[in-house]
Amino acid sequence: MRSRTTTPPGSPDASVEDSRAAVKPEAGWTFALHADDLWEGEMVGVVCGGTDVLVARLDAEVRAYENRCPHAGSRLSDGFLEAAKLTCSAHRWEFDLQTGAGINPVRCRLRRFPVKIIDGDILIQL
């Protein structure tokens, strides 16, 4: 989990309010990470509201899935991402991160969570 830097009282910037801290949390949406911390073609695992979530940015769109392989439960964020194809590190099952559909085998699917970005924060609906 990330921590925020705060300005000590009495310093020149103490009266400037952090605009991110001023954002009111929305019901049902949980902060995952800052959008600037997720580059194009990158994926990361974050624990979000007690749920392990895989967050990826592909074609400028952020997607979130349960960070658990449907085969035997390995963390998908420990796998390998090549274009939109995620390969699980445990037994090499493959998934399309554009859709969450299984590539090999095709009969499986990742659980997807809704995502929105507000003021540079990636929020997940768990």
Task: Give the strand pairing for 94-96 and 43-48.
Answer: unpaired
Among residues 23, 58, 74, 112, the one that binds ligand FES under rule CB under 6 A: 74
Burial of 10-20, coded b for 16+ CB within 10 Å and e otherwise, reads eeeeeeeeeee
Binding window for ligand FES (CB under 6 A); candidates: 15-23, 34-42, 68-76, 115-123: 68-76
Amino acid identity of residue 26, one-letter, is E
State both tokens at 35. 């959008």
Among residues 72, 83, 101, 106, the one that binds ligand FES under rule CB under 6 A: 72
Among residues 71, 85, 109, 112, the one that binds ligand FES under rule CB under 6 A: 71
| Binding positions for ligand FES, rule: CB under 6 A | 69, 71-72, 74, 88, 90-91, 93
